């Protein structure tokens, strides 16, 4: 993974935690082409090398905005072909976040509008600052959500609520997002990153192979019938049985000590 990013900051504070920050505060952390490519690189690298991290916290720079969506200043004057070429990067990014083998926690530190809301919805779960606001405003620009918004939001909060929010483009609060099921926890702004990091570290302490298999079983199984989901779960479970981590977990329990998982 490269370190010469311009629109994204990547930090490795230790213990398997990777903190990815949308870092264009002068532009409300809006998604330009450069940011799209850099985030895509981060998440595709994790797919190729899942041992590089055990959990990801995805947040925005500053205390007001997580991500304002696509950078409309950059998009001004784009031809249809240029617009679609850029959007392809964003489409691939959302798929990379959804397909990331390690858990992704979105720590929404402020406004998450349009593509920013879609990025948050693509994470495995969301913590939000109390003052954060969400919106899918694309219809007010004559387009629709095209980075998973119509799909991920529906799966999180239901069809009728999603229709109301997308068709009106109306913003909603972190408290509403929590009540409806998009946000897992609402935090005081100064506690948000610590809360997300604490949860990420707890995940990172667990068997990494088991975590990856559990994430996949939940995500894939949710799209299947219960019977197909049960079959998929057993296939994921069986992948953990012949691992050193499984043996270490049982041994550590019997020796009354914390396990030391190595991901093998």
* pLDDT tens per residue, range 114-157: 999 999 999 999 999 999 999 999 999 999 999 999 999 999 99
Q: Residue 52 carries which DSSP code? A: G
Residue-wise pLDDT tens digits, 73-107: 999 999 999 999 999 999 999 999 999 999 999 99
Q: What angle do CA 123, 126, 130 make, to 5 degrees?
A: 150
Catalytic residue among 11, 38, 74, 138: 138
> The pTM is what?
0.93
Q: What does the pLDDT read at residue 42? A: 97
Q: Per-residue pLDDT tens for 15-71?
A: 899 999 999 999 999 999 999 999 999 999 999 998 999 999 999 999 999 999 999
Domain spans, the chain: 8-204, 207-255
CATH entry 1.10.12.10 includes domain 207-255: yes
pLDDT for the residue numbered 4: 81
| Amino acid 50: pLDDT | 85
138 as an active site residue: the answer is: yes
8-204 under CATH 3.90.226.10, yes or no: yes
Q: Say yes or no to pLDDT of 195 above 80.
A: yes
- DSSP tally for the chain: helices H, then strands E: 11, 10
- The answer, yes or no, to whether residue 1 has pLDDT greater than 70, is no
Give Cβ neighbours of residue 259 (< 8 Å, ≥ 6 apart): 207, 245, 248, 249, 251, 252, 253
Q: Which of 118, 191, 244, 248 is catalytic?
A: 118
Q: Please give the pLDDT value at position 3.
A: 61
């Amino acid at each position: 993974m490269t370190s010469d990013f311009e629109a994204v900051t990547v930090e490795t504070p230790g213990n398997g935690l990777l903190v990815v920050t949308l870092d264009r505060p002068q532009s409300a952390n809006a998604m330009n082409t450069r940011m799209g490519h850099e985030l895509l690189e981060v998440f595709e690298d994790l797919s190729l090398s899942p041992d590089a991290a055990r959990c990801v916290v995805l947040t925005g720079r500053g205390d007001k905005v997580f991500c304002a969506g696509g950078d409309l200043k950059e998009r001004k004057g784009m031809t249809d072909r240029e617009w679609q070429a850029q959007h392809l990067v964003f489409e691939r990014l959302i798929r990379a976040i959804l397909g990331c083998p390690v858990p992704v926690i979105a720590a929404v530190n402020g406004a998450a509008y349009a593509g920013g809301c879609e990025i948050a919805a693509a994470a495995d779960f969301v913590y939000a600052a109390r003052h954060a606001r969400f919106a899918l405003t694309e219809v007010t620009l004559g387009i629709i959500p095209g980075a998973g918004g119509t799909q991920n939001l529906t799966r999180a909060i239901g069809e009728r609520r999603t229709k109301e929010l997308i068709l009106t483009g109306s913003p909603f609060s972190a408290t509403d997002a929590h009540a409806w099921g998009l946000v897992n926890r609402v935090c005081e702004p100064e506690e948000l990153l610590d809360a997300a990091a604490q949860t990420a570290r707890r995940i990172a302490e667990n068997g990494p192979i088991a975590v990856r298999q559990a994430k996949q079983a939940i995500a894939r199984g949710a799209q299947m019938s219960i019977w197909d989901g049960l079959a998929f779960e057993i296939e994921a479970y069986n992948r953990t049985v012949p691992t050193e981590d499984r043996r270490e977990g049982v041994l550590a329990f019997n020796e009354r000590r914390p396990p030391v998982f190595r991901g093998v």
